[in-house]
Amino acid sequence: MQLRALRWAIGISGTVIFSMLVSAQTPSTAPLPDVRQLMREVQDHQKRLEKVRETYTYSSLQTTQDLDSSGKVTKTESSEGEDFFVNGHVIERTVKKNGQPLNDHDQQKETERVTKLVEKAEKTPTGERLEGPTVSVSRLLDIMDVSNPRRETFRGRPAIVFDFVGRKDAKTHGLAEDVSKKLKGTIWIDEADRQVAHMEVSFIDNFHVAGGLVANVQKGSNFRFDQAPVEEKLWLPTGGEGTIQLRVLLLKNVRQHFTERVYDYKRFRVDTQQSRDATPVPAAKK
């Protein structure tokens, strides 16, 4: 199964949860904020950083392992990319597969793909998915139950943590809302910067795509996502991993473990708008 197809299979669920938010210190004793207000603050902080993120590019390494029924690795594939933001959307340009640079033919195809994606991103409002359905934060909070809000110290910083689970009795419309009913997880929000630091999500029930004709994502499939500050109050992804089990086209059972490592953030020079061939320069060090 190709990496992009795999990531699509969990992409909707990842977007659902991410859109819900978008020196060791002692946790505060102040009252915990209202969850809905906290979500609005996280979104507001994210929106204010959208234009700043546009000036960054970074590298990513994605590895996918096929697993047999006992969990043994039977195949490993990797993809390396040079990624950047356009209008709030991440654009991924593949530069290597399995450690080897793309040949001339594949480079041309990738350039054409990325060019079309950039053009689409420029026309797609920030907060909407480039591909596939999405769901609003307010609607998501109607579909999921939030519980056990608490404070913890996460990586040396105070964090507000809470659990969530999709309500099976919630009335939903569309794929994005349907999948949110099948999820449970935990989110760590950095208290000072109001940014998502870490989240863990799993499917609590099987999820059928097109009634199971296209794919059936199985209960127990899971993933996690991490962010960290690159500069003061600017948080960007650092990676994630997960395991997915699904049945594709009613014929093939697929079990895969995937990891993504994000690194080497750089600023690039821009004038009035982002350029596809902008020149990267090292980010300022503190």
pLDDT band at 64 (very low <50, low <70, confident <90, very high): very high
Domain span at 167: 3-275
Cβ of 28: how many Cβ atoms within 10 Å?
12
Mean pLDDT lowest among 15-19, 77-81, 173-177, 281-285: 281-285
4-58: pLDDT as tens digits: 444 544 454 555 444 544 433 444 567 888 877 887 888 787 777 777 888 889 9
Quote the pTM value.
0.77
Residue 249: inside a domain, yes or no?
Answer: yes
Residue 281: inside a domain, yes or no?
Answer: no
- Tell me what pLDDT residue 279 has: 39
Instruction: Enter the DSSP assignment of 33.
Output: P
Mean local confidence (pLDDT), 238-264: 88
Nearest Cα neighbor of 36 from 137, 169, 126, 185 is: 137
196-233: pLDDT as tens digits: 899 999 999 988 776 555 678 889 999 999 999 887 77
Residue 72: inside a domain, yes or no?
Answer: yes
Adjacent-strand bridge partners of 79: 62, 97
Residue 128: inside a domain, yes or no?
Answer: yes
Residue 92: inside a domain, yes or no?
Answer: yes
Residue 253: inside a domain, yes or no?
Answer: yes
Say how far apart CA 87 and CA 54 lie, in whole Å.
7
Amino acid in the structure at residue 276? R
Say how far apart CA 269 and CA 56 lie, in whole Å.
9
Residue 280: inside a domain, yes or no?
Answer: no
Q: In this structure, are residues 239 and 262 in contact, taking their beta carbons and an 8 Å threshold?
A: yes
Q: Which long-range contacts (CB under 8 A, 24 or more apart) does 205-213 make?
A: 205/168, 206/182, 207/178, 207/179, 207/182, 209/9, 209/175, 212/247, 212/250, 213/249, 213/250
Residue 283: inside a domain, yes or no?
Answer: no
Number of domains in the chain: 1
Highest mean pLDDT among 185-189, 207-211, 249-253: 185-189
Say how far apart CA 94 and CA 249 lie, in whole Å.
27
